[in-house]
């Protein structure tokens, strides 16, 4: 990756993290969970997906479904940076005059669908991917899942269907930050080996460092992972990435900081 491109992506990710931190007061947001997938989502919108403010109604564009809906601030922050929404609008977080709350709302340009109830988006994305195939279009359909979200059985049901329908236009990405709401995923309902499970279901799988733009580029350049099969990317990340004071902490999934704490966090941001 060119140095200039890398710098640009890092700068955007930095700004998105600033937006998220600013949304973590006055009612708060799912800050820890959000910070883990910033780099991934910035990479996808900037480099991988054909989605912009002019093609939202175009059936040939790409799609991104955020199944772990509680990290909506990442989308809003990213949308502000890539021009899908006005940055000023982020100040409407939790205000009655807008639709910016803890989970995504489709009234905001760029949000594909509401989410928040875990285990829903993969099925919806399969419907979209089937229709793209039916229309002989080569759009990419991406779904971002939480790792804890894999506890939900509907994901496994949908995983079987995606494989049966040979949806090589579908990419599920697991934000593998190793933590679910209250504890480490492996201490509750162990998920590993995730790759083996999905491969046994017929998917092609690959791992990526979800905070390394060059690795993201390398990983997403080869798609689909396996011919005639849906792809699973396990994005290895750290919850709270960028703020050392909350990184990998189980008690900072959601946080509502004071304005003073937000100022300190903004200075701490790397």
Partner 1 sequence: MTYEELLEELIYKDDRIVIVTAENRAVLRNIPNKIGDKFIDTGITEQTLVGVSAGLALRGRIPVSHALATFLTMRAFEFIRTDVGIGNLPVKLVGGFPGFLSEANGPTHQAIEDVSIMRGIPNVNVFCPADNEDLLICLQKVIESSNPFYIRFNNSESVIKHNNDFEIGKAEVISKGSDVVILVYGVLFSQAYNAKKNLEKEGYSVGLLNIRTPKPIDEQLILETAMFSKLIVTIEDHFITGGLFSILGEIFLRNKITCDVFPISLENRWFKPLLFNDILRHEGFTGNQIAERIKKHIQK
**Residue of 157, 196, 214, 268 that binds partner 1 (CB under 8 A):** 157
Quick one: which of 134, 227, 251, 259 contacts partner 1 (CB under 8 A)? 134
Binding flag, residue 124, partner 1 (CB under 8 A): yes
117 near partner 1 (CB under 8 A): yes
Q: Which of 161, 194, 238, 269 binds partner 1 (CB under 8 A)?
A: 161
- Taking CB under 8 A as the criterion, the residue among 41, 49, 108, 125 binding partner 1 is 125
**Among the listed residues 72, 80, 132, 191, the single contact to partner 1 using CB under 8 A:** 132
Q: Angle at CA 72, nearest 5°, toward 68 and 225? A: 50
CB 78 within 8 A of CB 45: yes
Taking the least distance from each CB to partner 1, the nearer of 161 and 238 is 161
Q: How far is the CB of 212 from partner 1 (least distance, A)?
A: 31
Among 129, 172, 208, 234, binds partner 1 (CB under 8 A): 129
If you write DSSP's letter for every residue of 35-98 in order, what string do you get? Answer: HHTHHHHHHIIIII----TTSTT-TTS-EEEESSGGGHHHHHHHHHHHTSS-GGGGGGTT-TTS
Structure tokens at 193: 């080996």
Contact between 131 and partner 1 by CB under 8 A: the answer reads: yes
Question: How far is it, in rounded angstroms, from Cα 191 to Cα 2?
Answer: 36
- Quick check: 236 and 208 in contact, CB under 8 A? yes
x/- string (CB under 8 A) for partner 1, residues 61-100? ----------------------------------------
Q: Which two tokens stand for residue 259?
A: 């304005």
Q: How far apart are CA 218 and CA 233, in angstroms?
A: 12
User: Which residues in 210-239 contact partner 1 (CB under 8 A)?
Assistant: none
Number of shown-chain residues binding partner 1 (CB under 8 A): 28
| Distance linking the first and last C-alpha atoms of the chain | 21
Q: Which residues bind partner 1 (CB under 8 A)?
A: 59, 106, 112-114, 117, 119-134, 154, 157-158, 160-161, 164
């Amino acid at each position: 990756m060119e140095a200039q491109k890398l710098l640009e992506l890092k700068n955007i990710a930095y700004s998105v993290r600033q937006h998220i931190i600013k949304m973590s007061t006055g009612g708060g947001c799912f800050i820890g969970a959000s910070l883990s997938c910033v780099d991934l989502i910035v990479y996808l919108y900037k480099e991988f997906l054909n989605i912009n403010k002019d093609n939202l109604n175009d059936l040939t564009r790409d799609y991104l479904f955020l199944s772990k809906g509680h990290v909506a601030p990442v989308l809003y922050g990213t949308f502000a940076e890539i021009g899908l929404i006005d940055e000023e609008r982020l100040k409407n977080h939790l205000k009655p005059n807008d639709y910016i709350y803890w989970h995504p709302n489709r009234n905001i340009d760029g949000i594909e669908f509401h989410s928040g109830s875990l285990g829903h988006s993969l099925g919806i994305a399969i419907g979209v991917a089937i229709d793209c195939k039916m229309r002989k279009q080569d759009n990419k359909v991406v779904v971002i899942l939480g790792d804890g979200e894999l506890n939900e059985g509907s994901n496994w049901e949908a995983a079987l269907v995606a494989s049966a329908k040979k949806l090589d236009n579908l990419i599920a990405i697991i934000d593998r930050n190793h933590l679910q709401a209250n504890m480490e995923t492996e201490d509750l309902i162990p998920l590993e080996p995730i790759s083996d499970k999905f491969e046994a279901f017929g998917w092609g799988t690959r791992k990526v460092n979800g905070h390394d733009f060059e690795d993201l580029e390398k990983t997403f350049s080869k798609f689909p992972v396996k011919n005639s099969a849906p792809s699973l990317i396990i994005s290895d990340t750290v919850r709270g990435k960028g703020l050392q004071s909350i990184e990998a902490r189980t008690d900072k999934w959601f946080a509502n900081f004071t304005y003073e704490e937000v100022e300190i966090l903004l200075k701490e941001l790397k």
